[in-house]
Structure 1
Amino acid sequence: MAEFSDLGEHCSDPYCRQKDVLTRTCDGCGAAFCRQCITDHSCSRHLVKDKRVVLCDKCGTALPLVDSLTPQQALAAHECQPVQKKPRCAVCRTVLTFATMWACPKCDKKVCLRHRLPEDHMCAGIMGCAATARQNAAAAAEARARMLRVR
């Protein structure tokens, strides 16, 4: 036990003064206390660094408990913004992230990488082009038929 005599500190409580290897330091006054005395310590400044919070059920925001507010009072005073819904694929409805989202340059639909090809997500841009192409092909066939009749 002699080799460990230089480790640890004495508790700052004048009635305890127990030597403890794992002392706890008060955030308010900086005094070192043993495990039993830190909770009984009557420092008025330790509440300055109090980091207790309550979580809002609607938006998930952490609300600090300041000025001796109860959790119910802190929640009542909080004006929360409801959480925005996450974007989903227009085809399969899977949740899109920054890495898995593809915005189609033709129709501006947000789809997953699996449905990034225009044929896979029924692209309005390509469907419009296909309809125009069909109309042009029909008009060309009609013109050819007229030309063949004239000859």
Structure 2
Amino acid sequence: MSSLRNWVECPGPRVPELLADKIRFVANFPITDDEAMQFSIVLEKIVEELEVDNLSPVDFSRVTVIFTENGGFEFEDEGDNVALGLHFSLAVYAIGRIREKVAIQGEIVAFITFIEELVHHFWRLEDEVETKIKVTNIVNRIFERNFYITDLFSREWLNDELRRQGNQPRF
């Protein structure tokens, strides 16, 4: 059996029933009560978007969310049962870096970051542009606004990514 090395206790986000057995949280760097509340809001709005898209939790694999300071983590064996391999679906958040960006750009950065990795997981999206479109939809749910994708992400980056994929720029 393996566990996160140097794990710490911290406030945990509230998990909506739809995702109760599909997400777990561990940390080697604590999040604040405010960050836990932000993550809780993200999960609520993700559930709303999943329902709109008619995606069933039966089809979801479990994701482990790891809160770290700068993205680093390590697992260690526990007891006599030494692991020869590990398999996880992970969403890793560099909370220290997120806090630095939030201090400059505002709390919306935390919401966007928390949403993006979970969109990759639950919608099974690898395409960064499609992911950012879905992130924008969920951000709009949270802030009850009508952000356009280029309000949240660089038009230049989006079009460059489309070109890289062999598509025409559209933003």
User: Shorter-chain TM-score: which interval?
Assistant: under 0.3
The higher-RCO structure (CA 8 Å, 6+ apart) is: 2
TM-score (structure 1 length as normaliser):
0.23
Q: Which has the larger Rg?
A: 1
